[in-house]
Amino acid sequence: MSKIAIVTDSTAYLPPELVQKYNLTITPLVVIWGEETLEDGVDIQPSQFYTRLQTAKVMPSTSQATPATMLTAFENLIAQDYDEILGIFISSNLSGTIDSAIQAKDLMQKGADKVTIFDSKTTAMALGFQVLAVAKAIEDGANLDDAVALAEKARDNTGVYFAVDTLEFLHRGGRIGGAQRFLGTALNMKPVLTLQDGRVEAVERIRTKKKAHNRVLELVAEQVQGKDNIRLATLNANAEDDAKALLDSAAQQLNPVDTFLTEISPVIGTHVGPGTVGLAYIAGI
């Protein structure tokens, strides 16, 4: 049986116990804050990030995981005698991280043929759910072809909806995508967004935060209707209480087999801004 390693990136912000359980390799993206270059989830954690953001005079920006980081990750796994490496990463429409992975593969002195790179076309726990589905299958004996086929199926059955307090951060970071048409919305309106084909797309505008979160749940319920093995994760940017309330409501309504309360990594938080709450799902897998 082939020994297969999975590499993903820090924007998935998977719970540490699951990273350890499945021996996942996490490649950090980068937060650039003034003169500082901080590795996402390594040099800066969500709580530190949002606390600092409240009083920051200079706003952070972000950068993809570097080719050097990817090369080190791949070479370390080759040195551990893995037969195959499957990299499942943030959407190529949101980040250049997949480009870095491809560059790293090209730079490898040996073992490049063992590396397969997969575009999740999403991020946060929507990415995390794809990784976990594949990791479980590999643990159960799946080969690489099976794992890639499952990743494709998981990608087709995974999604995320989220409500942001403001579009300012997405606009400033250049990730606003189809939500551009909501710019100029009255301040009391809360945009509900999704990721579609790897890009941020607008769904609708809701008058209050609570109603926006309820609408997020309604949209996820529509997507998972009639499917089994529903797994859900709320994601939040310094809005844990709101995320817990949403997760409780989702658990009661959708009867998932697993739920997770997760934070939004500093890199993603740079683009969506504090107060963002979302609900990611995978179903039918």
The token duo for 74 is 């791949």
Closest CA to 201 of 73, 108, 125, 94: 94
> Beta strand 231-236 with 258-263: parallel, antiparallel or unpaired?
parallel
Give the separation between CA 285 and CA 231, rounded to whole angstroms. 9
Q: Domain of residue 193: give its range.
A: 158-282
Closest CA to 163 of 267, 266, 239: 239
Same domain, 98 and 228: no
Dihedral Cα 239, 276, 95, 198, nearest 10 deg: 130
Of 122, 156, 190, the domain-final residue: 156
Residue 117 φ then ψ, to 5°: -115, 130
Closest CA to 125 of 279, 271, 285: 279
Is 46 a member of any domain?
no
Same domain, 164 and 213: yes
Is 257 a member of any domain?
yes
Same domain, 107 and 8: yes
Same domain, 143 and 165: no
Is 96 a member of any domain?
yes
Local confidence pLDDT in tens for the 285 residues of the chain: 789 999 999 999 999 999 999 999 999 999 999 999 999 999 999 999 999 988 999 999 999 999 999 999 999 999 999 999 999 999 999 999 999 999 999 999 999 999 999 999 999 999 999 999 999 999 999 999 999 999 999 999 999 999 998 777 777 766 656 556 565 555 567 889 999 999 989 899 998 999 999 999 999 999 999 999 999 999 999 999 999 999 999 999 999 999 999 999 999 999 989 999 999 999 999
Is 267 a member of any domain?
yes
Instruction: Please tell me the total count of domains within the chain.
Output: 2
Of 132, 156, 180, the domain-final residue: 156
